[in-house]
Structure 1
Amino acid sequence: MIKWILIAAFVASALYVHFRGRVRHRFSRQITDHSTFMAPINVLMYAFSRVPTTPFVDPDLFPELAPLRARWREVRDEALRLRELEKIKASEGYNDVGFNSFFRRGWKRFYLKWYDEAHPSASTLCPVTTALLREIPTVKAAMFAELPPGGHLHPHRDPFAGSLRLHIGLQTPNDDGCWIDVDGTRYSWRDGESVMFDETYIHTARNDTQEQRVILFCDVERPLRYRWTQAVNRWVGRHFVAAAASPNETGDRTGALNRAFGRFYALRLRAKELRKRNKALYYVLKWALLLALVVLIIRL
C-alpha cells in the first residue's frame, strides 16, 4: 500500500511539473527529462517557498545581494580581464554535465564557486568577486557566463527548485536582440541591471546582435517557510547538486557526478550513432529500457 502511495505521489508531482507554467516540453520529452525525477522534491520547494513561485522574482526580496549588485562595475572589471586571458571558455572535456549541451551553441563559463568555497583558480584570478560571494552564503553557485553573437540556448528547465537564478549584466549588447525567455516572457539584459527567475520554468536564450554578452550568473538559495524544509533543501544541494562541480583549471574540484559523466558520455555517443543509423531501433530500445525501469520500480 505504501509503495502505491509513493508511486501515486511521484506521478502527481511529475504531472504538476509538466503542466506548471505556460510553456511545456512535449510529453514524450518530459518523461525522460531530469526535472521529472526531481519532481517530488521540487513540489516540496514550491509548496513552502517564502517568495513567489512565479517565473520572474523581484531581486529586491533578497537584501543580502545588495553589495554584489551595487559593486557590479568591479565585478565586470574582473570578468573582462578573464575574457582577455581567454579563461571564460567551454569545458575542455566531458566534465560539466549540467551545461554540456550549451557549449555546442557558443556558450562559455568560468566558475566562481559551486556549492562550496570558491575554486582556487577563481580566488586567484577574481579576488574581489570571490570575496563578495564569500560574504553572501545564500549564493550557492556563481560563474561568469558568456553568450557570443549568434549564440543560443535551447529551451530547457533546470532539475532542482532549491534555488533561484540571478543574472547581473556586466557587458551586454544593451539591445532587445539579446534576450532570455522564461515561460514565454522575455527579458533583455542591460549593463548593471539584475534579473531573477525560477530556472525550473522552461527558459531559452539568444544573442542575435553582433556584440558579446557577459553576465554574472548566481544560484541563490530559495527561502523556505520552515527549518525542516530548509534542511531538506541544503541536504539535496550538499549531496547531489554539489556533485556536479566542474573545474576551470587543473587543481579545481571536480564533483563525483562529473567524474562519472565522462564514462557515461561514451555510451551516449554510441546511442547517438545508433539513432543516426537506425532511428526506429533507437527509440524501441529507449522506450523498452524505460518500461523495464518502471516495471522494476513497481515490483520492488
Structure 2
Amino acid sequence: MKWVIVFAFLASAVYVHYRGKVRHRLGRQLLDHSTFMAPVNVLMYAFSRVPTTAFIAEPGQHFPELEPLRAHWPDIRDEARRLRELQHIKAADGYNDVGFNSFFRRGWKRFYLKWYDEAHPSAAELCPRTTALLRAIPSVKAAMFTELPPGGELRPHRDPFAGSLRLHLGLDTPNDDACFIDVDGTRYSWRDGQWTMFDETYIHWARNDSADNRIILFCDVERPMRYRWAQALNRLIARHLIAAGASPNMEGDKTGGINHLFKYFYVLRLKAKALRERSQSLYYALKYLLVALVVAFIIWI
C-alpha cells in the first residue's frame, strides 16, 4: 500500500508538470507548492464539471450566478476607485500575506473583500455594494480588488490548489493590449466591464506595459464537481487549509493561522536567501537534500 501511495504521488506530480504548453524548469517544479498538492489537484481535474482548459469560455454559461457582478460592474468600479483614492488598495503592512507576499515587490496591490469566509469588516464598511453582491453568490469563495500600476508585473507562477477557478472582471483598466495576463501561453488584455475566467493552476503571469493603472475585481470561484464526495473534499480543503491564508486589510480584519506563522517562517526564508546569494550550489543542494529526506521518510514509514 505504501508503494501505491508513493507511485500515485509521483505520477500526479509528473502529470501536473507536463500539463499544458508552458511549464517550469524541472528543478523549480520539484520544489513548487503545486507539486505537493498534485494528488489532490489531479482528483479536482478528473471530476470537474467544467472544462479543464486554461481559459473557461463564457463564464456566465457555466456560472450564471456570477452575472450580477458583470451587470453591476460600474457600481463595483466606483467603490474600487474610492478605495484607491483612500490608498487602501495596497501591499500588506507586514509579513501576513503568505499567498501573495512575493507579488508586492513588483507593484501588485490588493484589498481583500472576503477570503473563504464572510466579508472582512473593513470591506463591509468601505464597500457595502460590492460585499452585498458577493454575499448573494456563495460560489465566490474569495474576492479582492487588485491593482497593477504601469510597469508592474507578476512573474510566472501557478497556484497550489485546483479547487477554484479565477475570475477577473475589468473595472478601471488601460483598455490596452500592453496590459495583459498570459495563461499557458495565451494572452488576455483586460477591458472595462468585461471578464475572463481561467484555471490558475496553469502557469500564468502578467504585465502592465501601458501608461495607465489597472484595477480589476479578482474572484476565486468554487470548481463544481461531478460527485458529492468530490465536492465535499474540495470544500473540506478550502475550509481548513486555504481559509487559513486569510490576510487583513487593516486592524479588526481576520488573519488566518498560516499567516500568523508566516512572520516566523519569513525569518528562515531571509536566511535561505542570504545563503543563495553566497552560494547557489550549496543552497540548491540543501533544498534537494530536504526533498530527498522527505521522500525517504515517506517510504520508511
Please give the TM-score of this superposition, normalised by the length of structure 1: 0.99
Matched with 1:20 is 19
Deviation at 1:285, TM superposition (A): 1.6
Task: Report % sequence identity.
Answer: 71
Matched with 1:90 is 91
What amino acid maps onto 2:126 in structure 1?
A: L
1:254 equivalent to 2:252? Answer no
1:110 equivalent to 2:111? Answer yes
Matched with 2:176 is 175
Deviation at 1:279, TM superposition (A): 2.0
Matched with 1:208 is 209
Q: What CA distance in whole angstroms lies between the structure 2 residues aligned with 1:294 and 1:231?
A: 29
Equivalences for 1:1-300 in 2 at 5 Å? 2-58=1-57, 59-60=59-60, 61-300=62-301
Q: What CA distance in whole angstroms lies between the structure 2 residues aligned with 1:67 and 1:214?
A: 19
Q: How large is the Cα RMSD of the aligned pairs? A: 0.6
3-state secondary structure, aligned to 1:89: coil
What amino acid maps onto 2:255 in structure 1?
A: T
Q: What CA distance in whole angstroms lies between the structure 2 residues aligned with 1:112 and 1:20?
A: 32
What amino acid maps onto 1:52 in structure 2?
A: P
Q: What CA distance in whole angstroms lies between the structure 2 residues aligned with 1:182 and 1:123?
A: 32
3-state secondary structure, aligned to 1:169: strand
What amino acid maps onto 2:19 in structure 1?
A: R
Q: What CA distance in whole angstroms lies between the structure 2 residues aligned with 1:15 and 1:279?
A: 26
Q: Any gaps of 5 or more consecutive residues in structure 1? A: none
What amino acid maps onto 1:20 in structure 2?
A: R
Q: What CA distance in whole angstroms lies between the structure 2 residues aligned with 1:123 and 1:46?
A: 34
Deviation sequence 1:187-212 (CA, Å, 0-9, x none) = 00000001000000000000000100
Deviation sequence 1:236-277 (CA, Å, 0-9, x none) = 000000000000001100000111111001000011111111
Deviation at 1:280, TM superposition (A): 2.1
Q: What CA distance in whole angstroms lies between the structure 1 residues aligned with 2:290 and 2:220?
A: 34
What amino acid maps onto 1:293 in structure 2?
A: V
Would you identify which runs of 4 or more consecutive aligned residues in structure 1 move more than 2 Å?
Answer: none
3-state secondary structure, aligned to 1:136: coil
Deviation sequence 1:126-165 (CA, Å, 0-9, x none) = 0000000000000000000000000000000000000000
What amino acid maps onto 1:229 in structure 2?
A: A
Q: What CA distance in whole angstroms lies between the structure 1 residues aligned with 2:48 and 2:131?
A: 28
Q: What CA distance in whole angstroms lies between the structure 2 residues aligned with 1:291 and 1:119?
A: 41
What amino acid maps onto 1:152 in structure 2?
A: E
3-state secondary structure, aligned to 2:90: coil
3-state secondary structure, aligned to 1:57: coil
Q: How many residues align?
A: 299
Q: What CA distance in whole angstroms lies between the structure 2 residues aligned with 1:27 and 1:56?
A: 24
Deviation at 1:289, TM superposition (A): 1.6
